[in-house]
Structure 1
Amino acid sequence: MTSAQADRGTPDPDSTSVTPGTPPLALAAGLVTVVLWASAFIGIRAAGKDINPGALTLARLFIGAVVLGVVVAVRRVGLPPRADLPRLLLCGLLWFGIYNVALNAAEQRIDAGTTAMIISLGPVLIAILAAALLKEGLPRALVVGGGVAFAGVLLIGVATSSQGLSAGTGTALALLSAVAYAGGVIAQKPLLANTSALMVTWLACLIGAALCLPFLPQLIDDLSHASGEAIGWTLYLGVFPTAVAFTTWGYALARSTAGRMGALTYLSPPIAVTLAWLILDETPPWLALVGGVLSLAGVVFSQRKK
């Protein structure tokens, strides 16, 4: 990387090129993301008691944008090229706007197990779209490992679901969030070849927040009646699962393939179950523990080089 690139915050082409496997530092960043996103399931449930889905999305995106904006200003990170603007708008619309609103709304209508099962379709779509649109191919390790991890998530979903995959608004919203998640990741991946993960995350967060501005009156009203716990969880969601986790995700995605990173998110449901066990004293069923082991084994296998 040249000194000029460092000053602009432009990623080193060598560091952002797709490698056969996921580099250790990128894998570590991805694991940070997965843990924080898993904790978001608990935060959404807690904050969602007093704050509506759209309002909650606006709040966490606004908080995330402010935190990231400070870091961008301090580091003087360079802007992306104008040619990337349409893809950036699509990433902000799908990944930060639609995905978060739909997920928040789904979790208020169906249980966490059912939501996890449906959202787990996202990495499958990512692998297929990445192979078709980003020419990443479908390595055997990714297909086999992703399949095992997917089976593990399904077991967790069955074990913790009280409603099953019944038709309804909640199911439709969860499906929408899975599709938006996959589309957002595919739109984001090429952006990271020209622009730092920090800048891409900040701008996408701003775009998502702007799209959620119609929820501002509702947010003001919700906050006027919200408990201290709900407000605290909202702040947490904005700083950690949003500002921190989406940035570490972008860093990892720039140094791996979309398919491998999508498979890594299969760790989120078993981690979420574990956190609910530790924080909410919700003892997981034995079948969920088996699913967690399967998910872990599948993710580990999917990150192999061959």
Structure 2
Amino acid sequence: MLFRQHDRGMTRHAATLAGFAVVVLWASAFPAIRVAVPEFGAVGLSFVRLAVAAIALIVVGLIMRIRLPRLADLGWVAACGLTGMAAYQLLLNWGELHVPAGTASIIVSAAPLVSVLVARVLFAERVPVIVGVGSLVALAGVTVVCLARSGIGFGAAAWVVVAAMVVQGIYHPLQKPLLRKYSSIEVATYCMLAGVVMTLPFVPVGWAMIVHAGPAGWLSAAYLGLLPSALGFVLWAFAVARMPVALSTSLLYLVPPVAVLISWIWLGEVPLVQEAVGGVIVLLGVALVSQGERLRRALGRPKTENVMVSFPE
């Protein structure tokens, strides 16, 4: 009995460490994009990152003997690959040509409010009042962040990052039908491969920049594909399987502030006061969205199904 309790404690400890590692990896992706995207361009970086991550996940998948997706599920795989991989990468990379990494991470952290709306439309999931309020609060915070800096270039790019946030928010609930049948690593591998295929038609546009990218760009692109994308998905699957949902979700609230800190150390980017205020508002809204069930239980309200919420990297 003592040994079993010790093993469970070690497992929880390992899961917590994996969760913190994911926070750092996903937060570091935003400044790494800022380093790589001027070298590759939005299209080139999207393709290289997705391809590196897909190859790494295929290797892991062969070792773990993951299954092939059924023909009937390929539509969901394509939808996830389009939104969460191809469109998200292209839009985020394009936006980060002008938007600071920390600012981009704050905007993207509002993706759960889109997930709530999509789950309501596609799966008829109830949207409690507290979740609706949280969504409005998060949206207000995103608006504050987007209006923090002046300049036409930044303004347009900030709304491109908002579009990246929207497609990532769509992606999360689209995984639900697949996750009922397949493991997290299987779903990540399928969607990553689909993203590579969907990015291929754009490669001729970015091929010249891919060929002429310098060592710093290739190092950042390889880092993005191997660590935040491939390893991040594997560690997150390990952590979520062994941690309470509330704890894993709360860990992800750390992604934007850690991204801001890494961007400051790595790139010398200092957030504006208005961006910091907007980030706090966004995190408050996301907390209301993802922790609505706990609040309902505390108030003695009936239980409703939660939407799967996670921050992208």
TM-score relative to the length of structure 2: 0.72
- What amino acid is the match of 2:259? A
The reply on whether 1:43 has 2:32 as its aligned counterpart is yes
The reply on whether 1:186 has 2:207 as its aligned counterpart is no
Q: Call closer, same or farther: CA 1:129–1:296 in 2, change over 3 Å.
A: closer
Distance 1:173 1:291 in 2: 18
The reply on whether 1:225 has 2:212 as its aligned counterpart is yes
- What amino acid is the match of 1:74? I
Deviation at 1:116, TM superposition (A): 5.2
Q: Deviation per CA, 1:243-267, whole angstroms, max 9, x where unpaired?
A: 12344556778899x9x99998665
Deviation at 1:229, TM superposition (A): 1.4
Counterpart in 2 of 1:17?
none
Counterpart in 1 of 2:65?
76
Counterpart in 2 of 1:104?
93
Long gaps (5+) in structure 1 = 1-22
Long gaps (5+) in structure 2 = 1-11, 298-313
Q: Deviation per CA, 1:95-145, whole angstroms, max 9, x where unpaired?
A: 111111111112214455764565455322111111332344234554455
The reply on whether 1:209 has 2:196 as its aligned counterpart is yes
- What amino acid is the match of 1:130? A
Distance 2:116 2:15 in 1: 18
Residue 273 of structure 1 is aligned with which of 239, 260, 272? Answer: 260
1:247-262 equivalent positions in 2, closer than 5 A: 247-248=234-235
Distance 1:269 1:124 in 2: 16
Q: Deviation per CA, 1:161-212, whole angstroms, max 9, x where unpaired?
A: 34389764x3553343233212222211221010011111111111111122
- Of all paired residues, the percent bearing the same amino acid is 35
Counterpart in 1 of 2:307?
none
8 Å CA contact 1:47–1:231 kept in 2: the answer is yes
Q: Call closer, same or farther: CA 1:251–1:219 in 2, change over 3 Å.
A: farther
Match of 2:175, SS state, is: helix
Distance 1:254 1:83 in 2: 26
Match of 1:65, SS state, is: helix
Q: Call closer, same or farther: CA 1:206–1:191 in 2, change over 3 Å.
A: same
Q: Deviation per CA, 1:14-47, whole angstroms, max 9, x where unpaired?
A: xxxxxxxxx9998876665444232111011100
Match of 1:52, SS state, is: helix
Q: Call closer, same or farther: CA 1:72–1:183 in 2, change over 3 Å.
A: same
1:1-306 equivalent positions in 2, closer than 5 A: 32-112=21-101, 115=104, 119=108, 122-139=111-128, 142-143=131-132, 155-159=144-148, 161-163=149-151, 168=156, 170-171=157-158, 173-217=160-204, 221-248=208-235, 267-294=254-281, 299=286, 302-303=290-291, 305=294, 306=297
8 Å CA contact 2:103–2:271 kept in 1: the answer is no
- Bigger mean CA deviation after superposition, 65-74 or 77-86: 77-86
Counterpart in 1 of 2:7?
none
Distance 2:130 2:262 in 1: 28
Distance 2:90 2:152 in 1: 22
- Bigger mean CA deviation after superposition, 293-302 or 129-138: 293-302
8 Å CA contact 1:197–1:251 kept in 2: the answer is no
8 Å CA contact 1:267–1:296 kept in 2: the answer is no
Q: Call closer, same or farther: CA 1:218–1:207 in 2, change over 3 Å.
A: same
Tell me how large the CA RMSD over aligned residues is: 3.9
